[in-house]
Chains A and B, each alone.
Chain A
Amino acid sequence: MDSSVILQIIVSGALMGLVYALIAYGFQLTYATSKSLNFGQGELVMFSAFCSLTLQDWGVPYWLMVPLGLIIGAVLGLVVEHAAVRLALEQKSEGWILLTIIVGLFAFSLAENIWGRDDRPFPTPIPSDSFNVFGIDITWTEVSVAVGVLGIMGLVELFKRRTLLGKAFDAVSADRDAAELMGISATRTVMLSYGLSGMVAALAGILVSPITTVGPTMASAIILKAFSVAVVAGLNSGFGVVVVGLALGAIENLASLYLGSGWREAPGLVLLIMALALRPNGIFGKATIRKV
């Protein structure tokens, strides 16, 4: 096969992989502070994408819709935290796994009934034509994905490093008890992490909707890949998710090319299982010390 075609496929795939990275980043945010994550995150992406679509249907211009959509995402994240996570954390159990799945299921059904089961196009002012760089065609949509993902990850990282609240975030991840002794409320920090995670997921939805169209099942495929990226990169490392996301996106496209489109899903899933077998804490993650 022509090498420029392969390169094209790799680059296009990699850029899409950034979406997985973004959602995986959301997982890291909540896992860092609470050792939990939202198993229904795909439904959150989908639900917020539908809300954003509705906003546009009501005439809200795109550039206003985006921040509103992010706020909606944050609110949804808080709902998940309150309904599905808080109780389990208080009981020091892992009940949140099942509960977030349940909340996601409910959201799915709700979305089906409010907006119907068909896929709908997502209007966007970003042109779909492409331009050529070093022999590879890149669409403006793909550029927007890259800009959006890296932009928001950069902003959140900046928040974590430059604001006191952000440092408090890291403190709760490092040692919850000690953070409480500083007057940092661990519960509020967990709420914040879920809000941020929801916001990030909403952006992922907005970025990817023009490509996948908006429908109840839009995120079910994406979410598994995001899980793979999160586990392979490790649930502690911010930078790792970007690398793994790019890699997975590229590999998936190659799999689709050589094996057939139905096999797209396979690499992510196999990667996940292999990563768990070989490096349980992820390539970039760290193990923890037990105390007896």
Chain B
Amino acid sequence: MLQYIVRRLFNAVPVLIGVSMVVFFGMHVIPGNVAQMILGDKATPEAMARLVRELGLDQPIYKQYWNFISHAVVGDFGVSLRTQNPVWQDLWLAFPVTVQLAFTTLLTALVVGVPIGVWAAVKQNKWFDNAAMVGVLVGISMPVFWTGLVLMIYLGQRLDMLPISGLLSDSVTLERITGLTIVDSILTGNREALVDTLRHLVMPTLTLATIPTAIIARITRMEMIDVLKQDYIRTAWAKGLRMTYIIYYHALKNALIPVITVTGLSFGTTLGGAILTETVFGIPGMGRLAVDSILYRDYPEVQGLVIVASVAFVLVNLVVDLLYAWVDPRIRLDREVET
């Protein structure tokens, strides 16, 4: 198992180098002058040239890339052009915020999506199945931006049930320990902050969870329909076992592997979706940081962000692979290594 993990991590290195190259060169070819962005449209050519020199942007691009990658391997992504902070410092603040949102999102997607998929399979072609699949289609099709605004207008403004934006109310203070506001409020015993941050997370979570919930429900339904046709399920029925026992104990566990795969992949989509969700809901996470940094042509910050997001994605996929073996002991990961 350990050998497998090491091998997987080793295999991730070329992926990360590839990602860093695409982002680095991509950022340099998109239109827009970084010095102009920083100094504004009133900047003189002399001031812009000086800034370009100061930032090392006058060097050949391969040298700039080498400077970046040689420092990045030891965790030094440079200094943000926009915030003037070391990039790791900005990432350290933003990363937990997005991780927390991704976690609440995927948890919601699983808690809602799996039961819907199971019951849609059990009630195949009945009204529940049809309604659920229409709902799934709507869920997949709804743009995150629109969902967010609709929730804000109805739940936030008209019904006044939930706060509209941010992670904590202005009147609530919370000591930062991990940066995960839920965990920090628990660790500091701050009940007020816990309730407040959970209330703040409801709308962004629902917004971001719409698409993964729909996908998970659809995959679960499809797999469950296959499994429910198997002989051993028929045998279980014949033995007179309770329906819920058959569905959840015998059928669902065999339908879970693809659900885990999709959940792992949904992590990537969630990170992408966080860009819009965090911007709409004013949440200071990686997505917001990415938007601000890209608009500002803040190369170091964007590169740091993408590499951290890529590492997170690679690690989540590794965890997913490990989960396969945990969920289904018939899968032996170390065998794959031997072959």
Does B associate with A? Answer: no
Please list the residues of chain B having a beta carbon within 8 angstroms of any beta carbon in chain A: none
